[in-house]
Structure 1
Amino acid sequence: MKVPSQLKVWSQMSKQDQINVIQIFVILPFVLLCIPSSFGRSEQYDTFPSPFNLLWFVPFFTMIYTLRVILAENLFLKLGEKIVVYKQEWTPEIRQVRVQRFSICFFKACYFFFTTPMGILLFRYEDWFPSQLYGKGAQNLDLMWEDFPFQLPTWKLTFFYCWELGYHFHSLVHHMSSEKRADYFENLLHHVATVFLIVFSYLNNCGRCGVLVLILHDLVDMIMYFAKSVNDIKTQIPAYISFALLAYSFPKFRIYFLGGYLIPAAGGCIKYVPSDLQGGFMVYCLIMSLLCVLLVLHIYWFFLILQMIYKIVTQKGRIADPHTVGN
C-alpha cells in the first residue's frame, strides 16, 4: 500500500518540527476568528487605533528589503569574502554558505544596533517603561493599563510599530522563500507569532505591552546577530565576548523579564476588557498565548546556547553556531 506523500513528509520531520507545526495549526483557527473583531475595533470605539495606521509599514518594509538586497546580498558578501576564514576541511560550497551567513547576520546586527537604542530613547521616559529596559520614568509596569482600553496611540508608538512590522514582515517573507533547514519550522513559528503579536496588540490597544516585548527581543537580537556575524572571522575574541554577553542577556531579558515580569503584568489586561467588546476575551487570551509560545521557544533556544557553550568549554574549538549550515 502506497503511503500518502503528506504522511511521508510528516514522518521524516523531527519531533520538534512536528510539535511546532501542531502549534501553528492550533493557533491559526483562533487567529482567523480574531481577525474580524480586531480590525473593527476602531469602528466600535473611536479611541482604538485604525488598522489603516499600520499601512505605514509598507514603505519601511520596502526600504528594509531594498537595503537587504543592497547590503546583505551585495556589499556585505564582498566584505565576507575578505574576512571569513577558509578552513581546510571546508568545501568551497560550505565556505560560501558561511560567507552568506556572515552577510545576513551582519545586516540584521546593523538593523538591531539602530533599532534598539531608537526604541529605548523613544519610550524611556514613559512612566510604564520599566527599569529592566533602562527606563527613566516612574518605571511602573502596572501603568501599561492606565485608562485601558481607551488609551490614545501616540505618534511615537505608531511609528515604532510600523518600523518593527516592516522589519519582521520582511523577515517572514524572506524566511518563507528560503531553504528549509533543520530549524525551519521553529523559526517560521517565531516569525508568524511575532507578526500577529504586533498587529493584534496594536489594533487592540495593547501597544505599550507590545513596545516592551519588541525592545526586549531587540536587545538580545542585537548581540546574537553580531555574535553570529563574527563567528567565522580570523580572531575569535569578538565571538567569545559576544557569546558571553548573549549567555547573560538571553535569559535575563527573554526568560526572566518576559516570564517573570512582562507576561504576569500583561495578564492584567483581562480585568479591563469591556464586556461589550466583540471577541475581546478571545483576542486577549490569544495575545497571552502567543507570548507564552515565545517564552517556550526562548527556553528551548537557550538550551541550544547552553549546549554550544558546553562544546566550547569541552572541545576548545571554534564556536559552533547551531543555526548555521556546515558546522
Structure 2
Amino acid sequence: WREMVRLCVRCISPSVLTETPWLWNTRHCWYNYPYQPLTTDLHYYYILELSFYWSLMFSQFTDIKRKDFGIMFLHHLVSIFLITFSYVNNMARIGTLVLCLHDSADALLEAAKMANYAKFQKMCDILFVMFAMVFITTRLGIFPLWVLNSTLFESWEIVGPYPSWWVFNLLLLLIQGLNCFWSYLIVKIACKAISRGKVSKDDRSDIESSSDEEGSEETPRKKPHTATTTNGTSGTNGYLLTGPCSVDD
C-alpha cells in the first residue's frame, strides 16, 4: 500500500503544473520575485510533498536497515529543508519544477516495485528499464541543463544576487551529487540485469526480484527516492490566490 500512495503522490505534479507559464519558460520563475502570488493548488501541493518526505524520514527507522541508510537519511533531510526553505523564500515556482522533474522517474520506480511484489517479473524488468532511462535523462541531463541553469544564471541575471541564492544553489548542487551517485548504482544494476536476464537485487533500493529473494543470501537493498528538492513560496511575500496562474510581464 505504501508504494500505491507514493505512486499517487508522484503523479500529481504534471496536473499541477500543466497551465503554469514557468513550465515552458523558466525565466517566469524569477519575474517579479519575490512578490509572486501563491495559488491554492500549489500551496497544497507543497504541503503534500513536505508531509510525504516527513513520512519517509520516519518510516526509514522502522524499515529494514539498508546499506544506503546514511545516504537516504541525508537525502530526506536535504529534501525537507529545501522544500521548507523554498516555501519560506517564495521560490515555489522553481521548486515545483524540481519536484515534478524528480517525481517523473520515481513514479516508474514505485510501479516497478508493485509489479515485483505481484511476481510479474517481465513487467518489473520493463518498468525498471524505463525508470533507469527516465532517471538518468532527467537527473543527469534535464535537471542541470534546465533547472540548475535557471537557479544559477537566470535568477542572477533577472533578480541579481540575494542572500538565499547561495544556500539554495548549494543544496541543489548537493542533490545533484546524490543524483550522480544513484545513477552509478542504477547502471550497475542494469549491467547485472543484462548478465542474469532479469532485474535482480537492487543495490540502491527495494526493487528486489521475488525469485532472488527466495534463493539469494545477499540482503536486498532499498532504492532511495531521488532528491526531490524544491523551492517554495514565502509566508511573508507570497499569498494564496485562487484561479489559474497569470503570465508575468
TM-score of the aligned structures, taking structure 2 as reference length = 0.76
CA root-mean-square deviation: 2.1
Report the alpha carbon displacement of residue 229 of structure 1 after superposing the two structures with TM: 3.1
Contact conserved, 1:231 with 1:319, CA < 8 A, in 2? Answer: no
Contact conserved, 2:54 with 2:80, CA < 8 A, in 1? Answer: yes
Shift in CA distance, 272/205, structure 1 to aligned 2, threshold 3 Å: farther
The letter of the residue matching 1:299 is C
For 1:262 and 1:274, locate their aligned partners in 2 and report how far apart those are by CA, in whole Å. 17
Please name the residue that 1:217 is paired with: 102
More contact order relative to length (CA 8 Å, sep ≥ 6): 2
Please name the residue that 1:269 is paired with: 155
Higher helix share: 1
Please name the residue that 1:156 is paired with: 41
Contact conserved, 2:151 with 2:169, CA < 8 A, in 1? Answer: yes
Aligned positions, number: 207
The letter of the residue matching 1:113 is L
Q: Percent of counterpart pairs with the same letter?
A: 25
For 2:110 and 2:142, locate their aligned partners in 1 and report how far apart those are by CA, in whole Å. 21
Report the alpha carbon displacement of residue 184 of structure 1 after superposing the two structures with TM: 0.5
Paired residue secondary structure (2:34): coil
Larger radius of gyration: 1
* Residues 1:119 and 2:5 are matched in the alignment: no
Report the alpha carbon displacement of residue 314 of structure 1 after superposing the two structures with TM: 1.5
For 1:162 and 1:196, locate their aligned partners in 2 and report how far apart those are by CA, in whole Å. 13
Shift in CA distance, 274/153, structure 1 to aligned 2, threshold 3 Å: farther
* Residues 1:314 and 2:208 are matched in the alignment: no
Contact conserved, 1:220 with 1:249, CA < 8 A, in 2? Answer: yes
Report the alpha carbon displacement of residue 224 of structure 1 after superposing the two structures with TM: 1.0
> Which of 219, 225, 228 is residue 326 of structure 1 equivalent to?
219
Shift in CA distance, 248/167, structure 1 to aligned 2, threshold 3 Å: same
Report the alpha carbon displacement of residue 200 of structure 1 after superposing the two structures with TM: 0.5
Please name the residue that 1:253 is paired with: 138
Structure 2 gap ranges (5+):
207-217, 221-249
The letter of the residue matching 1:319 is S
Report the alpha carbon displacement of residue 272 of structure 1 after superposing the two structures with TM: 5.3
For 2:62 and 2:158, locate their aligned partners in 1 and report how far apart those are by CA, in whole Å. 41
TM-score of the aligned structures, taking structure 1 as reference length = 0.59
Please name the residue that 2:60 is paired with: 175
